[in-house]
Amino acid sequence: MNRKVSVIGAGNVGATAARSIADKELADVVILDIPQMQGVAQGKGLDMLEACPVEGSDARVLGTSDYADTAGSDIVVITAGLARKPGMSRDDLLTKNCAIVSSVTAQVMEHSPDCIIMPVTNPLDAMAQVVYRKSGLPRERVIGMAGVLDSARMRAFIAQELDVSVENTHAFVLGGHGDTMVPLPRYSTVAGVPITELLDKETVDAIVHRTAHGGAEIVKLLGTGSAYYAPGSAVVEMVESVLKDKKKILPCSVFLNGEYGVHGLFVGVPCKLGANGLEQIIQIDLTAEENAALKKSAAAVQELVQVIDMD
Protein backbone atom coordinates (compact mmCIF):
# COMPACT_ATOMS: atom_id res chain seq x y z
CA MET A 1 0.00 0.00 0.00
CA ASN A 2 1.28 3.49 -0.69
CA ARG A 3 -1.31 5.66 1.01
CA LYS A 4 -0.51 6.75 4.54
CA VAL A 5 -2.65 8.05 7.38
CA SER A 6 -1.08 9.26 10.61
CA VAL A 7 -3.15 9.47 13.78
CA ILE A 8 -1.71 11.82 16.39
CA GLY A 9 -2.85 10.68 19.81
CA ALA A 10 -2.92 7.04 20.92
CA GLY A 11 -5.87 7.42 23.26
CA ASN A 12 -9.23 5.75 22.81
CA VAL A 13 -10.45 7.85 19.87
CA GLY A 14 -7.12 7.74 18.05
CA ALA A 15 -6.64 4.01 18.58
CA THR A 16 -10.22 3.23 17.50
CA ALA A 17 -9.79 5.24 14.31
CA ALA A 18 -6.38 3.76 13.55
CA ARG A 19 -7.63 0.20 14.01
CA SER A 20 -10.59 0.77 11.69
CA ILE A 21 -8.44 2.38 8.98
CA ALA A 22 -6.13 -0.62 9.08
CA ASP A 23 -8.98 -3.15 9.18
CA LYS A 24 -10.60 -1.54 6.15
CA GLU A 25 -7.22 -1.55 4.39
CA LEU A 26 -7.66 2.12 3.53
CA ALA A 27 -4.01 2.98 4.10
CA ASP A 28 -0.89 2.21 6.05
CA VAL A 29 -1.24 3.69 9.52
CA VAL A 30 1.13 5.46 11.89
CA ILE A 31 -0.18 6.06 15.40
CA LEU A 32 1.87 8.57 17.36
CA ASP A 33 1.92 9.84 20.90
CA ILE A 34 4.30 11.88 23.04
CA PRO A 35 7.57 10.25 24.17
CA GLN A 36 6.14 9.67 27.65
CA MET A 37 3.46 7.55 25.95
CA GLN A 38 5.78 5.92 23.44
CA GLY A 39 5.29 2.44 24.83
CA VAL A 40 1.53 2.84 24.58
CA ALA A 41 1.65 3.96 20.95
CA GLN A 42 4.13 1.23 20.06
CA GLY A 43 2.17 -1.44 21.90
CA LYS A 44 -1.16 -0.48 20.37
CA GLY A 45 0.40 -0.22 16.92
CA LEU A 46 1.93 -3.67 17.22
CA ASP A 47 -1.33 -5.13 18.51
CA MET A 48 -3.20 -3.66 15.53
CA LEU A 49 -0.58 -4.98 13.11
CA GLU A 50 -0.99 -8.46 14.58
CA ALA A 51 -4.77 -8.21 14.13
CA CYS A 52 -4.41 -7.48 10.41
CA PRO A 53 -3.87 -11.13 9.35
CA VAL A 54 -7.13 -12.05 11.08
CA GLU A 55 -8.91 -9.21 9.32
CA GLY A 56 -7.31 -10.05 5.97
CA SER A 57 -5.66 -6.64 5.79
CA ASP A 58 -2.19 -6.00 4.42
CA ALA A 59 -2.06 -2.54 5.97
CA ARG A 60 1.15 -1.80 7.83
CA VAL A 61 0.73 -0.26 11.27
CA LEU A 62 3.44 1.49 13.27
CA GLY A 63 3.30 2.96 16.75
CA THR A 64 5.84 5.68 17.44
CA SER A 65 6.72 8.96 19.16
CA ASP A 66 8.89 10.21 16.28
CA TYR A 67 7.19 12.58 13.83
CA ALA A 68 9.72 11.53 11.19
CA ASP A 69 7.73 8.28 10.93
CA THR A 70 4.70 10.28 9.81
CA ALA A 71 6.54 11.84 6.86
CA GLY A 72 4.62 11.87 3.60
CA SER A 73 1.20 11.29 5.16
CA ASP A 74 -1.78 11.78 2.88
CA ILE A 75 -4.07 12.47 5.84
CA VAL A 76 -3.26 13.35 9.44
CA VAL A 77 -5.94 12.89 12.10
CA ILE A 78 -5.35 14.90 15.29
CA THR A 79 -6.96 13.45 18.40
CA ALA A 80 -4.26 14.59 20.85
CA GLY A 81 -5.41 16.74 23.74
CA LEU A 82 -6.55 16.80 27.33
CA ALA A 83 -9.92 15.85 28.69
CA ARG A 84 -11.52 18.31 31.07
CA LYS A 85 -10.67 17.49 34.68
CA PRO A 86 -12.46 18.46 37.90
CA GLY A 87 -11.77 22.10 38.74
CA MET A 88 -10.60 22.92 35.22
CA SER A 89 -12.51 25.75 33.57
CA ARG A 90 -13.56 25.66 29.93
CA ASP A 91 -11.04 28.40 29.17
CA ASP A 92 -8.26 26.41 30.89
CA LEU A 93 -9.02 23.38 28.74
CA LEU A 94 -9.21 25.54 25.65
CA THR A 95 -5.85 27.16 26.31
CA LYS A 96 -4.08 23.90 27.10
CA ASN A 97 -5.45 22.07 24.07
CA CYS A 98 -4.66 25.05 21.88
CA ALA A 99 -1.00 24.74 22.89
CA ILE A 100 -1.02 20.98 22.26
CA VAL A 101 -2.72 21.19 18.86
CA SER A 102 -0.53 24.10 17.80
CA SER A 103 2.62 22.11 18.60
CA VAL A 104 1.28 19.01 16.85
CA THR A 105 0.37 20.99 13.74
CA ALA A 106 3.83 22.53 13.45
CA GLN A 107 5.47 19.11 13.57
CA VAL A 108 2.95 17.59 11.17
CA MET A 109 3.60 20.32 8.60
CA GLU A 110 7.35 19.87 8.91
CA HIS A 111 7.06 16.26 7.74
CA SER A 112 3.84 16.19 5.65
CA PRO A 113 3.35 19.64 4.06
CA ASP A 114 0.98 18.28 1.42
CA CYS A 115 -1.36 16.44 3.77
CA ILE A 116 -5.01 16.94 4.62
CA ILE A 117 -5.53 17.47 8.36
CA MET A 118 -8.64 16.29 10.19
CA PRO A 119 -8.82 17.71 13.74
CA VAL A 120 -10.89 15.78 16.27
CA THR A 121 -9.64 17.36 19.53
CA ASN A 122 -12.22 19.35 21.51
CA PRO A 123 -13.42 22.01 21.52
CA LEU A 124 -13.47 20.94 17.90
CA ASP A 125 -14.33 24.08 15.96
CA ALA A 126 -11.81 26.20 17.84
CA MET A 127 -9.09 23.55 17.46
CA ALA A 128 -9.75 23.40 13.71
CA GLN A 129 -9.17 27.16 13.67
CA VAL A 130 -5.84 26.61 15.43
CA VAL A 131 -4.78 24.01 12.85
CA TYR A 132 -5.83 26.24 9.97
CA ARG A 133 -3.91 29.27 11.23
CA LYS A 134 -0.84 27.35 12.35
CA SER A 135 -0.55 25.17 9.23
CA GLY A 136 -1.11 27.82 6.59
CA LEU A 137 -2.99 25.21 4.58
CA PRO A 138 -5.85 26.20 2.28
CA ARG A 139 -9.25 25.67 3.84
CA GLU A 140 -9.89 22.68 1.59
CA ARG A 141 -7.26 20.72 3.52
CA VAL A 142 -8.38 21.34 7.12
CA ILE A 143 -11.63 19.49 7.84
CA GLY A 144 -12.92 19.09 11.38
CA MET A 145 -14.77 15.96 12.48
CA ALA A 146 -17.98 16.78 14.31
CA GLY A 147 -21.12 16.68 12.22
CA VAL A 148 -20.60 13.10 11.06
CA LEU A 149 -20.63 12.04 14.71
CA ASP A 150 -23.59 14.25 15.62
CA SER A 151 -25.56 13.04 12.60
CA ALA A 152 -24.76 9.41 13.42
CA ARG A 153 -26.17 9.88 16.89
CA MET A 154 -29.31 11.44 15.49
CA ARG A 155 -29.66 8.62 12.94
CA ALA A 156 -29.36 6.04 15.70
CA PHE A 157 -32.10 7.72 17.73
CA ILE A 158 -34.38 8.01 14.68
CA ALA A 159 -33.87 4.33 13.82
CA GLN A 160 -34.63 3.32 17.41
CA GLU A 161 -37.79 5.41 17.56
CA LEU A 162 -39.20 4.19 14.24
CA ASP A 163 -37.80 0.63 14.42
CA VAL A 164 -36.16 0.89 11.00
CA SER A 165 -32.71 0.15 9.59
CA VAL A 166 -30.11 2.84 10.17
CA GLU A 167 -29.32 2.47 6.47
CA ASN A 168 -32.66 4.10 5.71
CA THR A 169 -31.94 7.10 7.92
CA HIS A 170 -30.26 10.39 7.07
CA ALA A 171 -29.78 13.22 9.54
CA PHE A 172 -28.77 16.83 9.04
CA VAL A 173 -26.83 18.68 11.73
CA LEU A 174 -25.26 22.12 11.30
CA GLY A 175 -23.34 24.50 13.55
CA GLY A 176 -20.65 24.18 16.17
CA HIS A 177 -19.88 20.88 17.87
CA GLY A 178 -21.55 21.34 21.23
CA ASP A 179 -24.79 22.22 22.94
CA THR A 180 -25.55 24.89 20.33
CA MET A 181 -25.42 22.52 17.35
CA VAL A 182 -28.40 22.78 15.00
CA PRO A 183 -30.06 19.46 14.08
CA LEU A 184 -32.51 20.02 11.19
CA PRO A 185 -35.51 17.66 11.44
CA ARG A 186 -37.11 18.72 8.15
CA TYR A 187 -33.93 17.71 6.30
CA SER A 188 -33.59 14.47 8.32
CA THR A 189 -35.27 11.58 6.59
CA VAL A 190 -36.18 7.91 6.60
CA ALA A 191 -36.15 6.46 3.07
CA GLY A 192 -36.54 10.01 1.79
CA VAL A 193 -39.47 10.91 4.03
CA PRO A 194 -38.81 13.80 6.48
CA ILE A 195 -39.06 12.67 10.10
CA THR A 196 -41.42 15.58 10.69
CA GLU A 197 -43.99 13.58 8.72
CA LEU A 198 -43.34 10.36 10.62
CA LEU A 199 -43.05 11.54 14.22
CA ASP A 200 -44.96 14.03 16.35
CA LYS A 201 -43.30 17.29 17.35
CA GLU A 202 -42.68 16.20 20.93
CA THR A 203 -40.77 13.11 19.80
CA VAL A 204 -38.80 15.07 17.20
CA ASP A 205 -37.87 17.68 19.79
CA ALA A 206 -36.72 14.93 22.15
CA ILE A 207 -34.48 13.45 19.44
CA VAL A 208 -33.03 16.89 18.67
CA HIS A 209 -32.29 17.51 22.35
CA ARG A 210 -30.72 14.09 22.85
CA THR A 211 -28.56 14.59 19.76
CA ALA A 212 -27.25 17.94 20.99
CA HIS A 213 -26.36 16.39 24.36
CA GLY A 214 -25.23 13.02 23.02
CA GLY A 215 -21.65 13.33 24.19
CA ALA A 216 -22.64 14.45 27.68
CA GLU A 217 -25.04 11.51 27.99
CA ILE A 218 -22.20 9.05 27.35
CA VAL A 219 -19.82 10.86 29.71
CA LYS A 220 -22.43 10.65 32.46
CA LEU A 221 -22.97 6.93 31.88
CA LEU A 222 -19.27 6.11 31.76
CA GLY A 223 -18.46 8.09 34.88
CA THR A 224 -14.93 8.65 33.64
CA GLY A 225 -13.83 9.27 30.09
CA SER A 226 -15.94 10.03 27.03
CA ALA A 227 -17.18 8.50 23.80
CA TYR A 228 -14.69 6.96 21.40
CA TYR A 229 -16.28 4.22 19.27
CA ALA A 230 -18.63 6.57 17.41
CA PRO A 231 -16.08 9.42 17.13
CA GLY A 232 -13.50 6.97 15.80
CA SER A 233 -15.92 5.57 13.23
CA ALA A 234 -16.98 9.07 12.20
CA VAL A 235 -13.48 10.24 11.32
CA VAL A 236 -12.85 7.00 9.42
CA GLU A 237 -15.87 7.72 7.20
CA MET A 238 -14.28 11.06 6.34
CA VAL A 239 -10.88 9.46 5.69
CA GLU A 240 -12.48 6.87 3.42
CA SER A 241 -14.38 9.48 1.41
CA VAL A 242 -11.12 11.34 0.73
CA LEU A 243 -8.87 8.35 0.03
CA LYS A 244 -11.43 6.68 -2.24
CA ASP A 245 -12.52 9.98 -3.79
CA LYS A 246 -16.09 9.00 -2.95
CA LYS A 247 -17.34 12.59 -2.91
CA LYS A 248 -19.72 11.87 -0.06
CA ILE A 249 -21.81 14.71 1.31
CA LEU A 250 -20.92 14.78 5.00
CA PRO A 251 -21.43 17.41 7.69
CA CYS A 252 -18.00 18.69 8.68
CA SER A 253 -16.51 21.71 10.40
CA VAL A 254 -14.88 23.86 7.73
CA PHE A 255 -13.71 27.46 7.39
CA LEU A 256 -16.54 29.60 6.06
CA ASN A 257 -16.00 32.65 3.89
CA GLY A 258 -19.53 33.98 3.85
CA GLU A 259 -21.37 30.70 3.30
CA TYR A 260 -24.49 30.63 5.48
CA GLY A 261 -23.69 34.23 6.38
CA VAL A 262 -20.68 33.18 8.50
CA HIS A 263 -17.27 34.73 7.95
CA GLY A 264 -13.89 33.54 9.17
CA LEU A 265 -14.98 30.69 11.42
CA PHE A 266 -15.02 26.90 11.43
CA VAL A 267 -18.65 25.82 11.63
CA GLY A 268 -20.36 22.55 10.71
CA VAL A 269 -22.01 22.52 7.28
CA PRO A 270 -22.69 19.85 4.62
CA CYS A 271 -19.53 19.24 2.60
CA LYS A 272 -18.50 17.17 -0.39
CA LEU A 273 -15.33 15.25 0.51
CA GLY A 274 -13.12 13.82 -2.21
CA ALA A 275 -9.49 13.38 -3.17
CA ASN A 276 -8.84 17.12 -2.84
CA GLY A 277 -10.36 17.28 0.63
CA LEU A 278 -13.19 19.79 0.88
CA GLU A 279 -14.48 19.98 -2.69
CA GLN A 280 -17.76 21.81 -2.19
CA ILE A 281 -19.87 23.37 0.53
CA ILE A 282 -23.53 22.55 0.01
CA GLN A 283 -25.76 25.51 0.84
CA ILE A 284 -29.38 24.92 1.70
CA ASP A 285 -32.22 27.30 2.45
CA LEU A 286 -32.87 27.80 6.14
CA THR A 287 -35.98 29.10 7.84
CA ALA A 288 -35.64 32.24 9.94
CA GLU A 289 -35.64 30.10 13.09
CA GLU A 290 -32.97 27.72 11.74
CA ASN A 291 -30.83 30.62 10.56
CA ALA A 292 -31.04 32.27 13.98
CA ALA A 293 -29.99 29.02 15.64
CA LEU A 294 -27.01 28.70 13.29
CA LYS A 295 -25.94 32.27 13.99
CA LYS A 296 -26.17 31.59 17.73
CA SER A 297 -24.01 28.48 17.28
CA ALA A 298 -21.44 30.43 15.24
CA ALA A 299 -21.37 33.10 17.96
CA ALA A 300 -20.53 30.41 20.53
CA VAL A 301 -17.61 29.31 18.34
CA GLN A 302 -16.49 32.93 17.99
CA GLU A 303 -16.33 33.25 21.78
CA LEU A 304 -13.95 30.29 21.97
CA VAL A 305 -11.78 31.64 19.16
CA GLN A 306 -11.50 35.01 20.90
CA VAL A 307 -10.27 33.34 24.08
CA ILE A 308 -7.29 31.87 22.22
CA ASP A 309 -6.85 35.01 20.13
CA MET A 310 -7.12 33.13 16.83
CA ASP A 311 -9.61 35.41 15.05
**At CA 179, angle to CA 216 and CA 233, rounded to 5?**
60
CA–CA dist 248, 231 (Å, integer) = 18
Sorted by sequence, the CB contacts under 8 Å of residue 245 that are 6+ apart come out as: 274, 275
For the cut 90, the answer to whether the pLDDT of residue 82 exceeds it is no
For residue 5, give the nearest of 17, 16, 105 by alpha carbon. 17
Size (the chain), residues: 311
Rounded Cα–Cα distance for residues 60 and 154 (Å): 34
Give CA 161 to chain center in angstroms.
25
Binned at pLDDT 50, 70 and 90, residue 84 comes out as low
In the predicted model, is pLDDT for residue 311 greater than 60? no
Domains of the chain: 4-141 (3.40.50.720), 147-307 (3.90.110.10)
Residue 167: pLDDT above 80?
A: yes
Q: What is the H or E stretch that residue 22 is in?
A: helix 12-23
Which pLDDT score is estimated for 86? 60
Catalytic residues: 177
- In this predicted structure, the answer to whether residue 241 has a pLDDT above a threshold of 80 is yes
Residues 6 or more apart in contact with residue 266 via CB below 8 angstroms: 125, 126, 128, 129, 132, 144, 253, 254, 255, 256, 301
Provide the pLDDT confidence category of residue 88 given band limits of 50, 70 and 90: low
Angle at 2 between CA 4 and CA 39, to 5 degrees: 40
pLDDT mean over 23-51: 94
Helix (H, G, I), strand (E, B) or coil at 200: coil
State the amino acid at position 307 in one-letter form. Answer: V
Please report how many Cα atoms fall inside a 13 Å half-sphere around the Cα of residue 33, on the Cβ side: 22
Read off the pLDDT of residues 113-124 as tens digits, 9 standing for 90 and up.
999 999 999 999
pTM to 2 decimal places: 0.96
Q: In which band, very low, low, confident or very high, does the pLDDT at 179 lie, cut at 50, 70 and 90?
A: confident
| Strand bridging mode 61-64 / 28-32 | parallel
Angle formed by the axes of helices 229-243 and 12-23, to 10°?
Answer: 40
Type of residue at 294:
L
Q: What is the pLDDT of residues 276-310, one digit of tens each?
A: 999 999 999 999 999 999 999 999 999 999 988 76
The tens digit of pLDDT for each residue in 57-79 reads 999 999 999 999 999 999 999 99
